[in-house]
Amino acid sequence: MKEQFSQLKHIFETKQSFVITTHVNPDADAIGSEVALASFLHNKGKQVKIVNQSETPDHLIFLTKIFPVETYSSHLDHHILKADCFIVIDTNSPKRFSAFADIVQKSKAYKVCIDHHLEHDQFADLYIIDTEVPAASELLYRILVYVDNTSITKPIADALYAGIMTDTGSFKFPKTDSETHTITADLLARGVNPYEIYQEIFENGAINKLHLLGKALESIEMHDNGKISAMVLPRSVFSETNSSEADVDNFTNYVLSIKGVIVGLVFVELSDGVKVSFRSKGDISVNTLAKQFNGGGHKNAAGARIKGLLLREAVNLVIEKTKLMLR
Ligand SMILES: [Mn+2]
């Protein structure tokens, strides 16, 4: 890993203009690591742009005060095409920024991928991937410390903390280790106020999101003698509660909260298919399950998008495959 770190340090020193992106429907780890990296490079006198496929969700807009985030439209193509360096963070597949993946491919920019997910696509010149870290923000922290330990300002620390806190499920998911806490301690020493970040992310919700949650909890079904739970959200619940797919954020926690459940599934009907989130406890790997549906992710958390099936058909199929896997 030190080899890649030193290569990236060289890139930071020699390139002038950077474009940074992340995955569709970005979470706090995605936006947090983007704005931390952008701010770091900007403070080094670099030209930096963050361009995302999706809009920033409301509860993460506070992070864009650290560094602005632009939503992709074709007028940004020339920026992407002429950048010296293109950095993808918190995803390793151009499919997850498909709106401008072809422009990125055309661009002669040096391409870097910084991520913590399994099985990356071939598109970058430099991969810095550690699937053992719970958050891309934690990996980015290690990179920034390596490049210039003194340049992690309070706003950068805030952004990294937001990413680590949320991707570890508030420091409880299996990959949270002493290293995570050591890093978090250092971020606090740099001025992060945990309650401030918590408040921004978790105490700024809208009532419609709670109404959506109510309907989502009611929808939970149990299968395979209580080993599998499934939350099923048809499009109608979003119009009924005046909410959107982006509001489904942390609902996966609830399907796993049930005693005896080892695989939790969340199904969201999209305009062009069904989004499935897979979660598991302990040694059960849902990544292999997600792969059967052209998805992927981590051992205990993965996702896929199923096209060409109605919601109920997708639910039945995934539950069948999950039962088979558990057999
Ligand atoms: Mn992440």
Is residue 249 predicted with pLDDT exceeding 80? no
Cα separation, 327 vs 322, in Å, equals 9
Q: What are the structure tokens assigned to 133, written together?
A: 């870290």
Cα separation, 40 vs 87, in Å, equals 13
For residue 37, what pLDDT band results from cuts at 50, 70 and 90?
very high
Cα–ligand 1 centroid distance for 6 (angstroms)? 23
Cα–ligand 1 centroid distance for 91 (angstroms)? 8
Cα–ligand 1 centroid distance for 135 (angstroms)? 5
Cα–ligand 1 centroid distance for 31 (angstroms)? 10
Cα–ligand 1 centroid distance for 139 (angstroms)? 10
Cα separation, 303 vs 312, in Å, equals 17
Q: What are 73-131's pLDDT values in tens digits? A: 999 999 999 999 999 999 998 999 999 999 999 999 999 999 999 888 899 999 999 99
Say what the pLDDT of residue 92 is: 92
Q: What are 151-193's pLDDT values in tens digits? A: 999 999 999 999 999 999 999 988 999 999 999 999 999 999 9
Q: What are 293-323's pLDDT values in tens digits? A: 999 888 999 999 999 999 999 999 999 999 9
Q: Which helix (H) or strand (E) element contains residue 222?
A: strand 221-223
Q: Are 68 and 98 in contact (CB under 8 A)?
A: no
Cα–ligand 1 centroid distance for 115 (angstroms)? 7
DSSP letters for 72-100: P-GGGHHHHHH-SEEEEES---GGGGTTS
Cα–ligand 1 centroid distance for 29 (angstroms)? 5
Q: Are 307 and 294 in contact (CB under 8 A)?
A: no
Buried b (16+ CB within 10 A) or exposed e, 19-33: bbbbbebbbbbbbbb
Say what the pLDDT of residue 245 is: 87
Q: What are 46-59's pLDDT values in tens digits? A: 999 999 999 999 89
Say what the pLDDT of residue 153 is: 97
Say what the pLDDT of residue 28 is: 96
Mean of the per-residue pLDDT values for the chain?
A: 95
Cα–ligand 1 centroid distance for 224 (angstroms)? 30
Give the pLDDT mean for 133-160: 97
What is the reported pTM?
0.85
Q: Are 288 and 324 in contact (CB under 8 A)?
A: no
Say what the pLDDT of residue 56 is: 95
Cα–ligand 1 centroid distance for 240 (angstroms)? 30
Is residue 145 predicted with pLDDT exceeding 80? yes
Cα–ligand 1 centroid distance for 276 (angstroms)? 17
Percentage of residues in the chain having pLDDT higher than 70: 100
Q: Which helix (H) or strand (E) element contains residue 52?
A: strand 47-52
For residue 246, what pLDDT band results from cuts at 50, 70 and 90?
confident
Percentage of residues in the chain having pLDDT higher than 90: 91
Cα–ligand 1 centroid distance for 180 (angstroms)? 14
Cα–ligand 1 centroid distance for 133 (angstroms)? 9
Cα–ligand 1 centroid distance for 75 (angstroms)? 28
Give the pLDDT mean for 229-258: 93
Give the pLDDT mean for 253-281: 96
Domains and CATH numbers, the chain: 2-202 (3.90.1640.10), 208-326 (3.10.310.30)
Cα–ligand 1 centroid distance for 192 (angstroms)? 20
Cα–ligand 1 centroid distance for 193 (angstroms)? 21
Say what the pLDDT of residue 297 is: 86
Cα–ligand 1 centroid distance for 298 (angstroms)? 10
Cα–ligand 1 centroid distance for 225 (angstroms)? 32
Beta carbons within 10 angstroms of residue 182's beta carbon: 9
Say what the pLDDT of residue 205 is: 83
